[in-house]
Amino acid sequence: MNKTTCPLDCYDACSVLFEEGKLKGDKAHPVTKGYLCPNLNHYLSEPRILKPRFKGQEIEMDEAMDILSKLLHEAQGLNTLYFKGEGNFGKLQNAPAHFFSQYGADFTKGSLCDGAGEAGVVEGRGESLVLPHEQIAKSNIVVVWGRNISVSNSHFMDLIKNKILIVIDPVKTDLAKKAAVHLQVKPREDLFLALLMARFVYIEQIENYDFIDNFTADFDYFVEFIRSFPVKELVERVGVELEDVLTALMLMDKEKVVFLVGVGVQKYAHGSSVLRAIDSLAAMMGLFGKEGCGVSYLGNSSLGFKNIFPESKKRVPKATVDFAKYDLAFIQGSNPANQLPNSARVIDGLLKCKLSVYFGLYENETSRLADLVIPAKNFLEKEDIRFSYGTDFIGRMPKLIESGIGISETELTNRLCKDFGYDTLPGEREMIEEIVGNNVYEKEGYLRNAEYQQIPYSEGFYTDDEKFQFMDEYDDEVCEGEGLFLITCKQRHSLNSQFKRDTHIYLPPVCGLKEGDSVRAVSPYGAAEFTVKIDENLREDCVKIYSGTPGVNYLTPDELSLEGESAIYQETRVVLERVDA
């Protein structure tokens, strides 16, 4: 058995073969189709943390665990935090929750990622189901809305080749260049673009009356809602030509249409309303529950599975966590000093936190600040299983190699449980089977999630009356401010802050600066310096800085979305100041 699954936080959840010490894409897997992205291709050459460290001194693992145990005993009853990130998507990554819930630490809630949008999806549909790849393959029109497929979801490129593309993105992405229509929308205005499209579906009478009558609630209120905005005002807000919007709608009329929606549309206070509006547009066109149609957003990957690891009752929002108030913070699989919004506040908090523990694979901004550093085992060195938010595949991740480096999440948990006299965990395989239960089926040799239907919502929605709930209002807190919109999205060669990170700020040609210049970007939350790259694919009112770029989150707000308790990285404006050499 040499088959495993990519552990990284990514739509594709690739099936991987480990052969002769190398990672290879599984040719037989219907989505992976034999290739991996640059991140996994270079995974094994990425320098790892080899030894634990306490206060800067390298120590052995036994000693590190003794120190951790002692520090946890001393901090018991004080303010402690268990902070887990998304470095590895395996289910057994949650094992330390078994210890920390009994110990009484605070946990986090909410999301740095898709939480605002998910809240909007749940309001309309009741549950966020994944759209299986077979339905995407059967569509003929693909609307790619705030998702950068060729970078963040590259195995879907094959699924959508030869289809008519409509791309909605403020950036002229690689895919936008191939699209029949590119709506280069003004950032943050997708809610109004969806309403404008819905308005014209209504005017042109191309809505799906059968679907609306049988599977939805409150359509009349939605119509009233979309008619409350003057068309002229909507067109001005969204910053695209009405003609292009109409062309897109005419292409979609009576066709098999899928929407592939990404996190780009919802990194704002009103992110939940954006997804609700996009879903409402799709519902009015009858795109749910029908072959070759559907809206794919980041699905609830744990749907139908048992959560065997308890959650603590005390939970603080992840995006705004205040490390300063903790006597001990245990940080696992994450790099908050770079990835959380408002880095100045986060770093100050980590410095004030009496003891911070970093448990991860690589050195980064957080490991360098931590008092105790504990190296983890990588996905080849421990037993696990992963689910996916982009497909309905489930991937086993068996232990394939022995290694003297690091400690696994379950070993660490059992060691702490023994020291504290708590029950240890059941065996790893036993836990995996308990989580999965009967909720899987096998098709062509691969495990799939049985809770996700082949045609999602074909048996109704997950709401109380089993109908789609149209929106009829929205909340917003517009960030009025000076400066350019900040686009902060994913990059090909890094997985957030893992692997080859970028260091640039991308500016439109009109900015008056040239490649290689240094520039200081300033927002109401902080400032940071970057090297300029000129990018003609940007709108004139935008700057782009990739996720993982050192300094980017000095600019982002430590505030929560109105619903979903999610980070809102793009809810800010940026002003540029030239830095003279």
Ligand X SMILES: Nc1nc2c(c(=O)[nH]1)N[C@H]1C(S)=C(S)[C@@H](COP(=O)(O)OP(=O)(O)OC[C@H]3O[C@@H](n4cnc5c(=O)[nH]c(N)nc54)[C@H](O)[C@@H]3O)O[C@H]1N2
Binding site for ligand X (CB under 6 A): 9-11, 39, 85-88, 112-113, 145-148, 151-152, 168-171, 173, 185, 187-188, 190, 262-265, 332-335, 339, 359-362, 364, 376, 378-379, 487-492, 494-498, 547, 552-553, 556, 569-570
Choose from ligand X, ligand SF4, Mo ion, none: what does 562 bind? Cβ within 5-8 Å by kind: none
Stretch that binds ligand SF4, among 37-45, 118-126, 396-404, 569-577 (CB under 6 A): 37-45
Choose from Mo ion, ligand SF4, ligand X, none: what does 96 bind? Cβ within 5-8 Å by kind: none
Q: Among 479, 390, 441, which Cα is nearest to 149's?
A: 390
Phi, psi of 196 (to 5 degrees): -65, -45
Stretch that binds ligand SF4, among 33-41, 109-117, 290-298, 556-564 (CB under 6 A): 33-41
Stretch that binds ligand SF4, among 3-11, 222-230, 257-265, 370-378 (CB under 6 A): 3-11
Query: Which of the 8 DSSP states describes residue 91?
Result: G
Binding residue for Mo ion (CB under 5 A) from 40, 113, 487, 489? 113
- The residue among 12 and 371 lying less far from ligand SF4, judged by its C-beta, is 12
Residues 484-513 that bind ligand SF4 (CB under 6 A): 495
Letter for the amino acid at 440? V
- The residue among 37 and 308 lying less far from ligand SF4, judged by its C-beta, is 37
- The residue among 112 and 347 lying less far from Mo ion, judged by its C-beta, is 112
Binding residue for ligand SF4 (CB under 6 A) from 36, 81, 346, 479? 36
Task: Tell me: does residue 361 bind ligand SF4 (CB under 6 A).
Answer: no
Task: Tell me: does residue 37 bind ligand SF4 (CB under 6 A).
Answer: yes
Choose from ligand SF4, ligand X, Mo ion, none: what does 36 bind? Cβ within 5-8 Å by kind: ligand SF4
- The residue among 314 and 396 lying less far from ligand SF4, judged by its C-beta, is 396
Helix (H) or strand (E) segment spanning residue 54: strand 53-54
x/- binding map, residues 154-183, to ligand SF4, per CB under 6 A? xx----------------------------
DSSP 251-280: HHTTS-EEEEE-GGGGSSTTHHHHHHHHHH
Q: Shortest approach of ligand SF4 to residue 5 CB, angstroms? A: 8
Q: Shortest approach of Mo ion to residue 275 CB, angstroms? A: 15
Task: Tell me: does residue 39 bind ligand SF4 (CB under 6 A).
Answer: yes
CA quadruple 405, 411, 417, 421: dihedral, nearest 10 = -100
Task: Tell me: does residue 12 bind ligand SF4 (CB under 6 A).
Answer: yes
End-to-end Cα separation, the chain, in angstroms: 57
Whether residue 327 contacts residue 80, with contact meaning beta carbons closer than 8 Å, is answered with yes
Whether residue 80 contacts residue 86, with contact meaning beta carbons closer than 8 Å, is answered with no
Query: Which of the 8 DSSP states describes residue 36?
Result: -
Distance (Å, rounded) from C-alpha 165 to C-alpha 180? 6
Distance (Å, rounded) from C-alpha 333 to C-alpha 86? 6
Query: Order of strands across the sheet with 355-360?
Result: 57-58, 53-54, 372-375, 355-360, 328-332, 80-84
Task: Tell me: does residue 14 bind ligand SF4 (CB under 6 A).
Answer: yes
Task: Tell me: does residue 40 bind ligand SF4 (CB under 6 A).
Answer: yes
Q: Which residues of 495-516 are buried (b: 16+ CB within 10 A; e: fewer)?
A: bbbbbebbebbbbbeebebeee
- The residue among 397 and 479 lying less far from ligand SF4, judged by its C-beta, is 397
Q: Which residue has the tokens 């014209």?
A: 200
Q: Among 391, 274, 312, 351, which Cα is nearest to 107's?
A: 312
Query: Which of the 8 DSSP states describes residue 69?
Result: H
Task: Tell me: does residue 8 bind ligand SF4 (CB under 6 A).
Answer: yes
- Please count the other Cβ atoms lying within 10 Å of the Cβ belonging to residue 392: 29
Q: Shortest approach of ligand X to residue 15 CB, angstroms? A: 16
Stretch that binds Mo ion, among 106-114, 124-132, 284-292, 371-379 (CB under 5 A): 106-114
Q: Which residues of 559-569 are buried (b: 16+ CB within 10 A; e: fewer)?
A: bbbbbbbbbbb
| 102 to 66, 313, 365: CA distances (angstroms) | 19, 11, 30
Residues at the interface with ligand SF4 (CB under 6 A)? 6, 8, 10, 12-14, 36-37, 39-40, 154-155, 495
Q: Which residues bind Mo ion (CB under 5 A)?
A: 113
